Amino acid sequence: MNLAQHSAVYNMLSLGIASMLFTSIFLWIARDRVLPRFRLAVMVSATVTSIAAYHYFRMFDSFNAAYTVGGTAQAGFDGYNVGYRYVDWFLTVPLLLVELVAVMGLARAVQSSLLKRLVPAAALMIILGYPGDMHTQLFGISNGGWGAISTIPFLYILYVLFIEIGKSLSTQSERVQKMLKGARLLLIATWGVYPITFILAMGNTGAPSFDEVVAREVGYSIADILAKCVFGLIIFSIARIKSAEADANYAQTELGH
C-alpha cells in the first residue's frame, strides 16, 4: 500500500472516531433537554455513536497494524479484522431503527409490533452480509450470493419503513412529518452505500486490492458518519420539536416560543 492510499484510510478512520466520539458526548449531555417521553430516542442515538466510537478505535488500530506502507495486499487482508465493523453494525443498525420508532411517540403496542419486525430483520441483514465481505465462500456460496441473500431482509425493512411506518406519519405534525421523512431517506440512502461498495469487490475471491480497500473503508466510514451522527442529531431535533408541541412550558423555556 502506498502512502496516499494508507493516508486516505487512516484519515477517514480518524474522522470516524472524532465524529462518533463527540456526537456521543453531545447527545449524552443534551438528553435532558427533551421531555422524558422522548428521551429514550436520544439515549439510543447516543448509545449508537458510543458503540461506533469504540469500534472505530479498534478498526483504526487494526488497520495500522495490518496495512503498512509498502506491505502486500494479502498480508494486510489477513491481518485486518473486518469483524470489528460487522460487530458494530450488528449492534447499531437495529438500534438506528429503534431510535426512529421511539422518537415518533407511537402507542406502545404499535411500537412493539414495528420493532419485533425491524430489529430481527436488521440483525439478519448484517449476519448474512458478513461471509461475503470476508470472501469466505462459506457453504460454497459466492460473495455475490451472500450479498443477494442479505438483500432479502433489507427489502423487508424498506417495506416496513415506507409502508407500515408511513401509515403512522399522519399522526405527526407537518414539521415533524417532513423531518421524519428526511431521516428515513437519509437512513436508506446511506445504507445504499454498503451494497454498492460490496458489489465493487465481490468478484474478487482473494485479497482485495489496495484500491478496493480504500474504496471500502472510505465509503463505509462516510456512510457510517451520516447514518449515525447526522441521523442521531436529526432524531434529537425531532425530539425537541415534539417536546415543544407536547408542553407549552417546555416550548417557552427551551425554544423561546
> What digits encode the pLDDT tens for the residues 63-121?
999 999 988 888 888 888 888 988 999 999 999 999 999 998 877 888 888 999 999 99
- Residue 138's pLDDT is 65
- Residue 179's pLDDT is 92
Give the CB-side neighbour count of residue 211, counting CA atoms within 13 A.
Answer: 3
> Does residue 80 sit in helix, strand or coil?
coil
How crowded is residue 164: how many other Cβ atoms within 10 Å of its Cβ?
Answer: 14
Convert 72-95 to b/e letters by CB count within 10 Å (16 or more is b). ebeebbeebebbbbbbbbbbbbbb
Q: Which of 98-107, 128-137, 198-207, 235-244 has the highest mean pLDDT?
A: 235-244
How crowded is residue 184: how many other Cβ atoms within 10 Å of its Cβ?
Answer: 18
Distances in whole angstroms, Cα of residue 4 to Cα of each of 12, 69, 163, 200, 225: 12, 9, 45, 21, 22
Query: 163-185, pLDDT tens digit by residue?
Result: 888 888 888 888 999 999 999 89
pLDDT bracket for residue 58 (50, 70, 90): very high
The dihedral over CA atoms of 80, 81, 86, 87, expressed in degrees to the nearest 10, equals -150
Residue 207 or residue 178, greater confidence = 178
- Residue 257's pLDDT is 57
In order of their start, the domains of the chain are 3-255 (1.20.1070.10)
Average pLDDT across the chain, whole number: 87
- Residue 196's pLDDT is 74
- Residue 143's pLDDT is 65
Q: What is the mean pLDDT of residues 219-244?
A: 94
> What letter would DSSP give residue 134?
T
Give me 94's grid cell: 437495529
Q: What is the pTM of this model?
A: 0.88
Q: What is the mean pLDDT of residues 200-212?
A: 71
Cβ-contact 103, 81 below 8 angstroms? no
**Residues sharing a CB contact under 8 Å with residue 180, sequence separation 6 or more, in sequence order:** 100, 103, 104, 169, 172, 238
Query: 2-38, pLDDT tens digit by residue?
Result: 999 999 999 999 999 999 999 999 999 999 899 988 9
Give me 60's grid cell: 483504526
- Residue 47's pLDDT is 97
Conformation bin of residue 135: beta by default, left when phi > 0, alpha when psi is -120 to 50: left
The vertex-226 CA angle with 224 and 229, nearest 5°, equals 85
- Residue 168's pLDDT is 81
Q: What's the rounded Cα separation, in Å, for the pair 180 and 113?
A: 19
- Residue 39's pLDDT is 92
